[in-house]
Chain A
Amino acid sequence: MQRAGTSIRLNHVSKSFSIGRKTVAAVDAVDLTIEAGEFVSFIGPSGCGKSTILRMVAALEAPTAGQVTIGDLPPSEMAQHHRLGVAFQDHALLPWLTVRKNVELPFRIASRPVNDQQIDQLLNLVGLSEFDRARPKQLSGGMRQRASIARALILQPDVLLLDEPFGALDQVTRRHLNIELQNIWARNAITTILITHSVDEALFLSDRVVVLSGRPGRVVKVLPVPFGRPRSPSVMRDPLFHQLADDLTESLEGYVGSEEP
């Protein structure tokens, strides 16, 4: 399989927010290197700073201490060079544009000529070819997320950042989109960070799963996923898959009670 993209280095990264007069630590001393072309998921109890980690890699937040580098560059420079792709739980499609125009947006922002052929291919890949003229509000939740992921991928970014992109979908659609994302990703392995609540989703998609503790988020476990690629959905029926899912759930449960009031 082709490995693409750029490595991401989290060097002793901490982040705290001040809320009123109080300072709340969200992420504490996270040290991690994500290899080029690696798919890494972060799971953890809610409020553990998972999204904060992604937002620091996306240059949306600056770390309070430590450093994030992508390749050799700080994230803000990667963003300026249009080398990051992102999809959130909120699809954040522009409601006044068609699906096709939404997927074109990164070309326009990067001031590059729109590559129609590439857009056709990608829309086909995410199963939206017939809906390219539809507006977001005419689509189902799952289709909107597909469009949002197509937008994230269209410039063939060095890094793909996914913040619970399927978090608001029903279980069946979610599973479906996990399988599709796996197929899309397998074609051109882009360095990817996925933030998720779902242990199954993390295991099925990732090369490594990082478990974070409750607030402040610390790395408590890094689990390499032993399944080869490309993965078929049957992986999810493997006894080892269930074993690993149980292990991960258990390591998560240790922190459920520790959430601050």
Chain B
Amino acid sequence: MASASRSASVAYGFLGVALFIGGWQLIGAYQLAGLTWPPFTTVISYLIEPSRWGLFSRALEATLWAMGFGYAVGGACGFTIAVAASMFDRLRPMLDTTSAVVHAIPAIAIAPLFIILLGTSTAPSALSALNVFFIMYVSTSAGLAAATPAHRDVFRVLGASKTQQLYRLQLPNALPSIITGLRLAAPASVIGAIIGEWFGAPRGLGLLIVSAMQNFQIPLLWSTIVLATAISAIAYGLFGLIERLIHARFQ
């Protein structure tokens, strides 16, 4: 029963993607949206043309590095600060407010500032880290706070220290929430990196998008967007798989 509904939902998922691509192809082929909307097949053949692999792989490499670095740094900071906030009650309001304020700054608005402060090659990682930070802070905090009162009571009566409560109760209990955070943070890190590159990074998908747009290279623009979407979706899907394994055990 469960596997039947599961395969049905997978089938519907594929159907949705197929309809999307079909619609894209039709609009492009009949030029319903004008010349700036190429058909799906044109974009894909542009993307897989071997002479352009060098261009795309250099851009992809730069973006993946920026994203990976930002993801690791932002994730680690978000996690660590959330743990600190849960361990030291007095710090909590301050850390909550600071994180919310940091999150309220639009990435687009702070990007030029980062470029001046950190230089064009570090700005993509920094923006990516900023995006990931808040998601990880919130998901870790929520997970750590989710231990039930009965569990806390048992730990207190058994004489557990705060640290023991953290690693024997709160952290394992927070794991599903943390993994969900990691999944949601993956596309956010891609967005951060691309916005960072947009403002003049030496290479990367963001740079490719901007220059394709300015030079009216329509298939290049669309190909780059497809690439960016693909890495975002792959990262999201990968963590979705891990998440399913973790949820099965920890809930």
Contacts and interface: CB of A to CB of B under 8 A. Distances in A.
Interface of A: 58-60, 79-82, 84-86, 88, 90, 92, 94-96, 105-106, 108-110, 151, 161
Interface in B135-179: 148, 150-151, 153-160, 164, 168-169, 172-173, 175
Interface in B170-225: 172-173, 175
A109 B157 contact: no
Nearest to A75: B157
Query: What secondary structure prevails in chain B residues at the interface with A?
Result: helix
B251 interface: yes
Nearest to A55: B153
Contacts of A92: 148, 150-151, 153-154
A92 B153 CA distance: 9
A82 B249 CA distance: 29
Contacts of A96: 172-173, 175, 249-250
7 contacts: A81-B159, A90-B148, A92-B154, A94-B151, A105-B158, A109-B168, A151-B154
Given A94-B151, A95-B250, A96-B250, A60 B157 contact: yes
Contacts of A105: 158, 168
A84 B157 contact: yes
Interface of B: 148, 150-151, 153-160, 164, 168-169, 172-173, 175, 249-251
Nearest to B155: A109
B249 A108 contact: no
Nearest to A155: B158
A103 to B, nearest CB: 12
A86 B168 contact: no
B159 A110 contact: yes
Nearest to A110: B159
A233 to B, nearest CB: 30
B168 A108 contact: yes
Contact of A86 (B148, B153, B173, B250): B153
Contacts of B159: 79-82, 84, 109-110
A187 to B, nearest CB: 22
Contact of A82 (B151, B158, B172): B158
B251 A86 contact: no
A106 B156 CA distance: 11
Given A94-B151, A96-B249, 14 more contacts: A59-B157, A60-B156, A79-B159, A80-B159, A81-B159, A84-B159, A92-B154, A95-B250, A96-B175, A96-B250, A105-B158, A110-B159, A151-B154, A161-B157
